[in-house]
A = this chain, B = another copy of it.
Amino acid sequence: MVKIELMSHPPRNSHDVLLRVRYAETDKMGVVYHSNFFVWMEIGRVELMRSLGFDYKQMELEDDCHLPVVDARCRYKSPAYYDEEIVVRTELRNLRDSLIHFGYNILRQRDGVVLAEAETTHIVVNAKMEKRALPERYRTAFSAIKRTR
Contacts and interface: CB of A to CB of B under 8 A. Distances in A.
Contacts of A127: 29
Interface string A119-141: 00000000101000000000000
Contacts of A8: 1-2
Q: Interface SS of chain A: helix, strand, loop or mixed?
A: mixed
B39 A38 contact: no
Interface residues of A, number: 49
A42 B36 CA distance: 13
A24 B73 CA distance: 17
Interface in A60-107: 60, 66, 68-76, 79, 82-83
A139 to B, nearest CB: 21
